[in-house]
């Protein structure tokens, strides 16, 4: 059984990173666009933020979501991550479970997450950018990926490469869970179906 990270542990880690960075709660709220009340509730383990909210908070604190996982789970792991040992975090707002398939290291060039979107789940309220290039592969179910101004219906076996800064939003409009492996690398967007590729909108200046 996967090791679930409790909301209070996530909140404690957010507070620890904020204090180490020497910024106030209100400053973190301003950097992320959230209210100070929301950040306070998060640090006290009283809210379950969306996937996009967690990414924004991690980025504002100088961390990636993968690094956030590793530290909140108690440090770096080995090269092999057993299914029973990978840490997971549930997002009540997004109706999603996020599992770390790899642990962040200073020398790592890739981070991998497994996102399970329940029926009606979505990564955030609106499309939002990520500062690094992403590769996504649908391993189960069907999802809708809003990539720039276009929508792509992705099924099992479909993949997408998303450019740094490109607006994207994941949604599950079906009645069954959908699972997506997302690999992130420091770093253009492309949806791949067999031998065909559909490019997303170019990044806006």
Domain positions in the chain are 1-82, 109-205
Q: Mean pLDDT highest for which of 72-76, 111-115, 151-155?
A: 151-155
83 vs 75 pLDDT, higher one: 83
Q: Tens of pLDDT along 36-52? A: 999 999 898 888 888 88
199 vs 82 pLDDT, higher one: 82
Residue entry with tokens 């009540």: 92
**CATH topology assigned to domain 109-205:** Jelly Rolls (2.60.120)
Neighbour count for residue 99 (Cβ, 10 Å): 21
Q: Helices 65-72 and 7-21, interaxial angle, to 10°?
A: 110
Whether 109-205 and 1-82 are alike in CATH topology: the answer is no
Estimate to the nearest angstrom the gap between the alpha carbon of 198 and the chain centroid. Answer: 23
**CATH topology assigned to domain 1-82:** 434 Repressor (Amino-terminal Domain) (1.10.260)
The DSSP code sequence of 43-62 is: HTT-----HHHHHHHHHHTT
Model confidence at 124, pLDDT cuts 50, 70, 90, reads very high
Neighbour count for residue 39 (Cβ, 10 Å): 27
Distance in angstroms (rounded) separating the CA atoms of residues 96 and 112:
16
């Amino acid at each position: 059984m996967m090791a679930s990270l409790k909301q209070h542990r996530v909140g404690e880690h957010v507070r620890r990173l904020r204090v180490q960075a020497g910024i106030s709660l209100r400053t973190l709220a301003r950097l992320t666009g959230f209210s100070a009340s929301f950040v306070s509730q998060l640090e006290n383990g009283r809210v379950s933020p969306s996937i996009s909210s967690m990414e924004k908070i991690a980025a504002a604190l100088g961390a990636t979501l993968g690094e956030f996982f590793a530290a909140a789970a108690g440090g770096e792991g080995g090269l092999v991550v057993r299914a029973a040992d990978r840490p997971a975090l549930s997002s009540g707002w997004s109706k999603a479970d996020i599992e770390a398939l790899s642990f962040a290291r200073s020398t790592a060039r890739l981070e991998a997450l497994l996102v399970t979107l329940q029926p009606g789940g979505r990564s955030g309220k609106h499309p939002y950018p990520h500062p690094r290039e992403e590769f996504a592969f649908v391993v189960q179910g069907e999802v809708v990926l809003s990539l720039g101004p276009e929508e792509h219906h992705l099924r099992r076996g479909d993949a997408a490469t998303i450019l740094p800064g490109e607006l994207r939003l994941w949604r599950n409009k079906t009645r069954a869970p959908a699972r997506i492996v997302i690999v992130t690398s420091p770093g253009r967007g492309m949806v791949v179906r067999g031998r065909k590729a559909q490019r997303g909108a170019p990044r806006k200046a």
